[in-house]
Structure 1
Amino acid sequence: MKPIMEVAKQLSLGDQDVELYGHYKAKLGSHVWEQVKGNPDGKLILVTAMNPNPAGAGKTLTTIGLSQALNVLGKKTIAALREPSLGPCMGMKGGATGSGQAQILPAEDINLHFTGDIHAITSAHNLLAAMIDNHIHHGNPKQLNPKKIVWKRAMDMNDRPLRSIVIGLGDGNGQTREDGFMITTASEIMAILCLSENSSDLRERISKIIIGYDMDDRPVTASEIGAVDAMCVLLKEALKPNLVQTIEGTPVLVHGGPFANIAHGCSSVIATKLGLKLADYVVTEAGFGADLGAEKFFHIKCRQAGLTPSAAVVVITVNALKYNAGIKIADLHQPNKEALTIGFENVKRHVENLQKFGIPAVVAINHFATDTPEEIEAVIHMCETLGVPAALSKVWAEGGQGGAELAEKVIKAAASTSSFRMLYEETQSPKQKIETIVKEIYRGNAVTYSSAAEKMLQKVEQMGLSHLPVCMAKTPYSFTDQPDRLGAPTDFAIHVSEIRISTGAGFLVVLTGNIMTMPGLPKRPAAESIRLDENGAVTGLT
């Protein structure tokens, strides 16, 4: 690893512009934007994916490798990524820093506590929760209805039993009521931090958070119980982007970590905009398949921040193609050309969807050692038939050099004139927005709503919030709301079970199927394999 100051100097940043967190991590000072805001913008490249198999498709790996490859070709490039959550690190997914010759360093630090941003978000979230119950305990002057408190507690860990709890048991411990926890990455505070432009915007957004409803069913906000300023104090350092590097020394801004199936799934606006002023290319990723991360990247992040992406990379794998054709996980390494053809329908749909947004797409075939030459050739031929450029990406084994062909095709795609557009307008009703996504992106033919969702839609209209975009919360494994309906299904209905108002983040969260905001640990959590050896080195954190 290079000392982080050397990485900063690659971006023309001086000692006064970075705040060191040891030798290899730093935060960018809040004044840096004023220094660079007059610079021309670089090109914004989004890395997304087909619907993955449970092992993922390799978006983060490809983002890192592509940023290295663009630098190999002489393009000044920054990667912009989300911060890993401890929940998935200790659960099923493992870390989120890439691997092989396409990873960000120091990996253990980034995957664990990093610079404390997620802890700060957890603290701010739970300060608000504590002040809500304290407000009720001390006379409840705002007449909050204990049965209509919508602000749960948060922690950065998968902890199934905390989904639904009862608090205030015992004498003198406050109002007894039902409550629950969500994982920090699903917190509205996380979404707010990632969508805020600066500290003033952060404060304004936090003040709008709806914490619950009073006895007359009027919404009560965080500002009404005096929590906002203290929350901003807890978040003042977390608002600054983190600077690290890839294994080849490419600068990386790692900042924020909202989940993509229960939040908007993109790294911070602040880091993205800074990156665009500091480099020729910014390569970023949006979580899960393009039906989730990319759709919300466009409709929420780009809309709110005024960003215009130049191109998108759709990451696919031979195994994910087979998985989407219904092949069992144990049999994914067996050659099956027919399954590739069936699974490619999933890729085709994602590419077509990106084209609806006016974004040129490039397919990256993330290479595995188990892929046969015949399989790779067949997939490339299918891409050619679709009329989309494709490249075999070997960044895991070869780093930037292994992504040179992909980088060349991305440069060519990004050079075309942008015709970026949204699929729905702010003036449309929430139902129209939901139905547009279901029909245009998922290719379903209907939307059904629970009675609770219908009531909340009426409330949204009454509160004058119908203009907000929708943040769809859905399984990442399928275009439907059922994780076992793989491939490219059509003629299905999406069931909306719940709608939550996130006025601070500036969107409506639309929960479909059985989506939960607090994951559970698998039968064999990744935590069982993580060790600290006698030399103080961490092993098993992948």
Structure 2
Amino acid sequence: MAHKTDIQIAREASKLKIQEIGAVLGIPPDDLLPYGHDKAKVSQSFIDGVQDRANGKLILVTAINPTPAGEGKTTTTVGLGDGLNRIGKNACICIREASLGPNFGMKGGAAGGGYAQIVPMEEMNLHFTGDFHAVTSAHSLLSALIDNHIYWGNELDIDVRRVVWRRVVDMNDRALRQINVSLGGVANGFPREGGFDITVASEVMAILCLSNDLNDLQKRLGDMIVAYRRDRTPVFARDLKADGAMTVLLKDAMQPNLVQTLENNPAFVHGGPFANIAHGCNSVIATKTALKLADYVVTEAGFGADLGAEKFMNIKCRKAGLAPSVVVCVATVRAMKMNGGVAKADLGTESVEAVEKGCSNLGRHIENLKSFGVPVVVAINHFVTDTDAEVQAIKDFVASMGAEAILSRHWELGSEGSEALATRVAEIADADTANFAPIYPDDMPLAEKIQTICKKIYRADEAVMNQKILNQLKDWEDQGYGNLPVCMAKTQYSFSTDPTQRGAPTGHTVPVREVRLSAGAGFVVAVCGEIMTMPGLPRRPSAETIILNGDGQIEGLF
């Protein structure tokens, strides 16, 4: 029997009006700003009004390093949320919004899959409620104000060679990585080198996701460093009087988006920083709001646990005062086999040996997650080609690591397939055994923080930083930024900076190419290896097969 595509399943969903979904969480219709019939923003006044309530339990879903075999992290997040509601718990899901770049590239969307999806799938993976456009616009406004200020006499004495604010667009477009701007003579300003990142790598996106409210947002926007003067002193966005207008552009984008799963359970989808170049978590405001409205909140962090979960713990939880009760690490038999050396074309053939060999990657993630003081459950996201012996091999391995692995069939069966996982996760969360702490203190020097992550999480021998980078970090410490956490920009495919090195490599080093200060977001970015903050499209982009069919429906999104 041919399986239905994700988009077919999503289209057949019987959705409730968004006011009914709001009612499940106790949000009155007047506090929802509807975008069509099936999505809405939640008003700031309602959010302000629930702050005195107790928090529910926070459950983090993360995964092994991604492979072309697929892990299904979002699918598991959605399936677990549905499963918790199925067993009578009051649960809400929090995930990130999808970026257009990967949608038209090779990764596809970010709404889950099979019978564990969030809908409306097409809108979520395209323009949704316009939040990404607002971020792009606010970022572009600042870019325009910088060059305009220089054009009209440069009162702030910006050193044109030291403008650090890059432009952004929400698309994978390698041609824009390095460009020249202001060409064409006197009327167009002073020529200089510039470049584009993808919108999700913008500091504005990180700020949107880490701010508690509009006042906090405006303060952080003003704190962003856009350039340096000839005497090396920083020029802030507030020096250009950009923070007020940027906040106006982001006013609606700051409000969390409420949607639903295929089983009509509530989900917040808000913010969308990538975890390989930014901090990879949905917004603090959405997570904190969900914790006031539900007894269990299931959220995910981007890519593997070495990136997304590390940043969730060390950046988001540290900054927002959150603490997860349990972490679910998603693995698949297929991905274990790929880590064990099996080619993608041969994944359908049983190989318990390859599964066992590939478990080293999963084992390291379990150890790392436990080092944050949080109990870990492994969710084996079931594929129809998995054999009982292969599944048992993962269960045995995880048991040897002092954790528990549970097979979950949510992709195929929806919440019925995730009951066992949901039951166990709720038990562990209720037991309150977590003793969460970040793995480095605020007052550790910045270079040491980078070394700590590289050694403890990636198991590298060391991070390699040249004197220029070490001097830069020292300068920032002298300017009062030494207590910030670090955000590693690194390939998601490996613990090392070599994307082809699967499994659990040791004996490698992490070359740090450059460091960037995100003073508004509140972290220092370390760019490692070959990672790009503006991705490119693959040889055969998904865009080639995305069409409107004869009925006016979208096809080709996944």
TM range (shorter): over 0.9
Match of 2:456 among 437, 440, 445: 440
Taking the aligned partners of 1:126 and 1:451, their CA distance within structure 2 comes to 33
Partner of 2:59: 45
Taking the aligned partners of 1:311 and 1:227, their CA distance within structure 2 comes to 41
- Is 1:152 paired with 2:170? no
Q: Report the alpha carbon displacement of residue 331 of structure 1 after superposing the two structures with TM.
A: 2.2
Taking the aligned partners of 1:119 and 1:99, their CA distance within structure 2 comes to 25
Q: Kindly indicate whether the alpha-carbon contact (under 8 Å) linking 2:331 and 2:380 is maintained by their aligned counterparts in 1.
A: yes
Partner of 1:71: 85
The one-character-per-residue Cα deviations of 1:26-74 (angstroms, maximum 9, x if unpaired) are 0000111222112111000000001120353111000000000000000
The one-character-per-residue Cα deviations of 1:240-275 (angstroms, maximum 9, x if unpaired) are 000000000010000000000000000000000000
Partner of 1:14: 28
- Is 1:457 paired with 2:463? no
Q: Which letter maps to 2:240? A: I
Q: Secondary structure of 2:457's match?
A: helix
The equivalences for 1:394-473 within 5 A come to 394-416=409-431, 417-473=433-489
Match of 2:496 among 477, 480, 499: 480
The equivalences for 1:352-371 within 5 A come to 352-371=367-386
Q: Report the alpha carbon displacement of residue 384 of structure 1 after superposing the two structures with TM.
A: 2.1
Match of 1:218 among 225, 233, 239: 233
Q: Which letter maps to 1:126? A: S
Taking the aligned partners of 1:334 and 1:121, their CA distance within structure 2 comes to 46
Taking the aligned partners of 1:279 and 1:166, their CA distance within structure 2 comes to 50
Q: Report the alpha carbon displacement of residue 360 of structure 1 after superposing the two structures with TM.
A: 0.3
Partner of 2:336: 321
Q: Report the alpha carbon displacement of residue 329 of structure 1 after superposing the two structures with TM.
A: 2.1
Taking the aligned partners of 1:83 and 1:215, their CA distance within structure 2 comes to 39
Could you say what the CA RMSD is over the residues aligned between the two structures, in angstroms?
Answer: 1.0
The one-character-per-residue Cα deviations of 1:465-486 (angstroms, maximum 9, x if unpaired) are 1111000111111111111111
Partner of 2:11: none
The equivalences for 1:105-124 within 5 A come to 105-124=119-138
The one-character-per-residue Cα deviations of 1:328-355 (angstroms, maximum 9, x if unpaired) are 2222222222211111111111111111
Partner of 2:104: 90
Partner of 2:41: 27
Q: Kindly indicate whether the alpha-carbon contact (under 8 Å) linking 1:450 and 1:498 is maintained by their aligned counterparts in 2.
A: no
The equivalences for 1:22-421 within 5 A come to 22-171=36-185, 172-416=187-431, 417-421=433-437
Q: Secondary structure of 1:464's match?
A: helix
Q: Report the alpha carbon displacement of residue 454 of structure 1 after superposing the two structures with TM.
A: 2.5
Q: Secondary structure of 1:468's match?
A: coil
Taking the aligned partners of 2:129 and 2:487, their CA distance within structure 1 comes to 28
Taking the aligned partners of 1:253 and 1:414, their CA distance within structure 2 comes to 21
Q: Kindly indicate whether the alpha-carbon contact (under 8 Å) linking 1:452 and 1:497 is maintained by their aligned counterparts in 2.
A: no
The one-character-per-residue Cα deviations of 1:339-385 (angstroms, maximum 9, x if unpaired) are 11111111111111111101100000011111122211222222222
Q: Report the alpha carbon displacement of residue 455 of structure 1 after superposing the two structures with TM.
A: 3.2
Q: Which runs of 5+ in 1 are unaligned?
A: none
The one-character-per-residue Cα deviations of 1:411-443 (angstroms, maximum 9, x if unpaired) are 122123321111100110011111111111111
Q: Kindly indicate whether the alpha-carbon contact (under 8 Å) linking 2:69 and 2:344 is maintained by their aligned counterparts in 1.
A: no
The one-character-per-residue Cα deviations of 1:480-528 (angstroms, maximum 9, x if unpaired) are 1111111011122111111000000000001100111000000110111
Q: Which letter maps to 1:465? A: Y
Taking the aligned partners of 2:204 and 2:466, their CA distance within structure 1 comes to 27
Partner of 1:524: 540
Taking the aligned partners of 1:129 and 1:388, their CA distance within structure 2 comes to 49
- Is 1:507 paired with 2:523? yes
Residues 388-397 or 415-424, more deviating: 415-424
TM-score by length of 2: 0.96
Q: Kindly indicate whether the alpha-carbon contact (under 8 Å) linking 1:474 and 1:515 is maintained by their aligned counterparts in 2.
A: yes
Residues 374-383 or 447-456, more deviating: 447-456
Q: Secondary structure of 2:500's match?
A: coil
Q: Kindly indicate whether the alpha-carbon contact (under 8 Å) linking 2:377 and 2:404 is maintained by their aligned counterparts in 1.
A: yes
Distance 1:143 1:55, change over 3 A: farther
Q: Kindly indicate whether the alpha-carbon contact (under 8 Å) linking 2:42 and 2:255 is maintained by their aligned counterparts in 1.
A: yes
Taking every aligned residue pair, what percent have the same amino acid on both sides? 53
Taking the aligned partners of 1:505 and 1:134, their CA distance within structure 2 comes to 24
Q: Kindly indicate whether the alpha-carbon contact (under 8 Å) linking 1:473 and 1:515 is maintained by their aligned counterparts in 2.
A: yes
Taking the aligned partners of 1:361 and 1:399, their CA distance within structure 2 comes to 23
Give the ranges of 4+ consecutive aligned residues of structure 1 lying more than 6 Å apart after TM superposition.
none
Paired residue total: 542
Q: Which letter maps to 2:517? A: I
Taking the aligned partners of 1:452 and 1:147, their CA distance within structure 2 comes to 17
Q: Secondary structure of 1:511's match?
A: strand
Residues 198-207 or 386-395, more deviating: 386-395
Q: Kindly indicate whether the alpha-carbon contact (under 8 Å) linking 2:257 and 2:270 is maintained by their aligned counterparts in 1.
A: yes
Taking the aligned partners of 2:292 and 2:552, their CA distance within structure 1 comes to 39
Taking the aligned partners of 1:325 and 1:236, their CA distance within structure 2 comes to 48
Residues 195-204 or 452-461, more deviating: 452-461
Taking the aligned partners of 2:523 and 2:236, their CA distance within structure 1 comes to 16
Q: Kindly indicate whether the alpha-carbon contact (under 8 Å) linking 1:362 and 1:413 is maintained by their aligned counterparts in 2.
A: no
Q: Report the alpha carbon displacement of residue 453 of structure 1 after superposing the two structures with TM.
A: 2.0
Q: Report the alpha carbon displacement of residue 450 of structure 1 after superposing the two structures with TM.
A: 3.3
Taking the aligned partners of 1:142 and 1:61, their CA distance within structure 2 comes to 50
Q: Secondary structure of 2:480's match?
A: coil
Q: Which runs of 5+ in 2 are unaligned?
A: 1-14
Q: Secondary structure of 2:89's match?
A: coil
Distance 1:524 1:451, change over 3 A: farther
